[in-house]
Amino acid sequence: MDIKIEKKKGLRPKHYGYIVGGILLLFMGWKMAFGNTASTFRTDREKLSIAKVSFGKFDDYITINGNVAPISTIYMDAYEGGRVTEKLIEEGAMVKKGDIILKLENRGLYEQILASENNLALKQNDLRSTKLTFDARQVEGRKDLVNSKYELQKVKRAYEQNEALYKDELISKEEYLTAKENYELAAKQFEIIKIQTDQDNVLRNTSLKELDGDLARMKKTLSMVYERIDHLNVRAPADGQLGFLDAEIGQSIQQGQRIGQVNVLTDYKIEASIDEHYIDRVKRNLTAVLERNGTEYELRIRKVYPEVRNGRFNVDLVFVNEKPETIRSGQSYNLKLQLGASNEALLLPKGSFFQSTGGQWIFVLDESGNVAWRRPIRIGKQNSRYYELLEGLETGEQVITSNYDNFGDAEKIILK
C-alpha cells in the first residue's frame, strides 16, 4: 500500500538563491536607470556662456578704477584752543601760505600772558637789586683791600726800620718784636681781605650769570606765549585750495582739533583700490596707462598701502609726464596696470565660473557640442579679458564660462 507524502509548506534553501539573484537584478536595473542622474545635469544652451580656447599674446595687466586726488593734502589742526570770532576764508577758496583763515579768542591765554609779564618784571627787579647789592659789596671790598694794603706797607716799613735799629742795638728787643708782630698781623689781614674780595667777585659773577639765565628763560617763555597768541590766527600751511573747514563763528575749538585741510594743486595723483589677489605682484614703480579722448597718459605707482580691507588694498599713482588738461579732483578713471611682460600663451576668456571653481576645473564640451565634461585645469596669470592657461585644455576646445552654482556636484552637463 503506497503512502502519500505531503509537500512541506514554506521556503526551502534553494529558494533563497532565487531571491538574492532577483534582488541583484533589480538593483542593477535601478543603477542603470537612475544611478547616473546625480552626476548629470541638463540645461538649455541659451542659458550658458560658451567660449573657445585660443593661442595668442597674453598681456599681463589688470584694469583698475581710481579717483583723482591732489598730490598732497595738508591738514590743519588747532595749535591753540579758543572760540571762533572771525571767519575770513570759505571752503573751496584758493589760499596762499600764511593767509589767515580763522581768528580765535582765548581769555585764559591772555591771563597767562599777563602773569608771565608780571613774573618777568619781578625777575628783572630782583636782578637789578642783586646787581646793586653786589656792586656795593664790591666797592666796599676794594676799599678794605686798599686800606689793608696801605696798612701793610706802613707796618712793613716800621718793621724794617726797627729791625735795622735792633741789629745796631739802638732799640730794645721788645720794640723790635712788637714791630715784627704788627707786620705779620697786617700781612695776614691783607691776605684774608684779598681772599674775601676774590670770593665776592666769583660769587657775584656766578650769581649774576644764573640770574641772567633765569631772565633769558623767562623772556623765551614769554616769547613762546606770544607765539601762542599768534597761533590763535589759524593760517594756511601751504599754497592750495581750502578743501574743507569745520568751524563756524562762536564755535569752541579744542587744542589739537582738526578744523580743515588744504589741497596742494601743483599736481595730481590717482588713488586706486586693487583686489588682494594681486597684493604680492603690485610693487612701487609699476607703470599704468590712462586713456582719455584717444590719448594715453603714463603713470607709475608711487605708494602701496599694506593694509587690506574688505579684500582690497590701495595704491597711489602719479603721472610720469603729461596729464589730461581737464583733470579735476574727484574724477574717476579706468587704468591698465602692467604687472609683467607680455608672452605667448593659451588664452581662456574670463567668466564667472572662476568664482565657483577657483580656477581648479572647468566643463569642456565634447566634439558634438551637446555634452560637457568636468575637467581639471591649471590657471596662471589673468588680465581683464583672459586667463593664462598652463595645462588641462587645448587650442580650439570649447568651455562653459558662466556660473556653475546650479550644477551642484554634476560631472556631466547635457545641453538641450
- List pLDDT tens digits, range 182-192: 888 988 988 98
Average pLDDT, the chain: 84
pLDDT higher than 90, residue 301: yes
Minimum mean pLDDT range among 161-175, 203-217, 309-323:
203-217
**pLDDT of the residue at 37:** 46
pLDDT bucket at 273, cuts 50 / 70 / 90: very high
Q: What is the mean pLDDT of residues 1-16?
A: 51
pLDDT at 205 over 70: yes
pLDDT value at position 125?
80
378-382 vs 332-338, strand pairing mode: unpaired
Q: Cell triple for residue 385?
A: 579679458
Q: Is the dihedral of CA 123, 129, 132, 134 positive or negative?
A: negative
Q: What is the pLDDT of residue 227?
A: 79
% of residues, the chain, pLDDT over 70: 91
Q: Which position has the higher pLDDT, 132 or 364?
A: 364
DSSP assigned state of 80: S
DSSP 19: H
Split at pLDDT 50, 70, 90, the class of 361 is very high
Predicted local distance difference test score (pLDDT) of residue 55: 93
Helix, strand or coil for residue 316? strand
pLDDT digits (tens, 9 = 90+) for 45-93: 888 999 999 999 988 888 899 999 888 888 999 888 899 999 999 888 8
Tell me, what amino acid is at 245?
Answer: L
The Cα–Cα gap between 186 and 180 comes to: 10
pLDDT at 26 over 70: no
Residue 157 dihedral angles phi and psi, to the nearest 5°: -65, -45
Alpha-carbon gap, residue 397 to 411, rounded angstroms: 18
Residue 412: pLDDT band with limits 50, 70, 90 = very high
**What is the rounded distance in angstroms from the CA atom of residue 249 to the CA atom of residue 43?**
69
pLDDT for the residue 24? 58
Task: Specify the higher pLDDT residue, 112 or 64.
Answer: 64
- 36 pLDDT above the threshold of 50: no
Is residue 319 a contact partner of residue 348, using CB atoms and an 8 Å limit?
A: no
Longest dimension (CA), the chain: 205
Q: Which of 401, 413, 376, 333 is nearest to 50 (CA)?
A: 401
From the list 350, 349, 346, 373, the residue with the least C-alpha distance to 362 is 373
Is 287 exposed, middle or buried, given 0-12, 13-18 or 19+ CB atoms closer than 10 A?
middle
Distance CA 23, CA 21 (A): 5
Task: Name the residue with cell 596696470.
Answer: 337
How far CA 379 is from CA of 63, 160, 169, 354, 389, in Å, comes to: 19, 120, 133, 10, 5
Q: What per-residue string of b and e applies to 195-234 under the rule 16 or more CB within 10 Å gives b?
A: eebeebeeebeeeeeebeeeeeebeeeeeebeebeebbbb
Q: What is the rounded average pLDDT of the residues 403-410?
A: 88
The whole-number pLDDT of residue 34 equals 47
- Helix/strand/coil percent split, the chain, to 5: 40, 35, 30
Q: Is 90 exceeded by the pLDDT of residue 364?
A: yes
Nearest to 404 by CA among 370, 348, 355, 347: 355
DSSP track, 321-383: S---TT--TT-EEEEEEE-S--EEEEEEE--THHHHHTTSEEEEE-TTSSEEEEEE-EEEEE-
What local confidence, expressed as pLDDT, does residue 203 receive? 81
Nearest to 231 by CA among 79, 376, 105, 415: 79
The residue with cell 536595473 is 29
Q: How sure is the predictor about 17, in pLDDT bands with cuts at 50, 70 and 90?
A: low
* pLDDT per residue as tens digits for the range 207-242: 778 778 777 877 787 777 777 788 888 999 888 888
* Unique residue bearing C-alpha cell 542593477: 28
C-alpha cell recorded at residue 366: 565634447
Question: Which has the closest alpha carbon to 266: 295, 241, 301?
Answer: 241
Q: Is it the case that residue 122 has pLDDT exceeding 70?
A: yes
Which of 51, 55, 63, 49 shows the shortest CA–CA distance to 388? 55
Grid cell for residue 291: 586713456
Say whether pLDDT at 302 is over 60: yes
Distance CA 76, CA 83 (A): 16
Long-range contacts of 134-142 (CB under 8 A, 24+ apart): 134/200, 134/203, 134/204, 134/207, 134/208, 137/200, 137/204, 138/200, 138/201, 138/204, 141/193, 141/196, 141/197, 141/200, 142/197
The answer to which of 5-14, 113-122, 167-176 has the lowest mean pLDDT is: 5-14
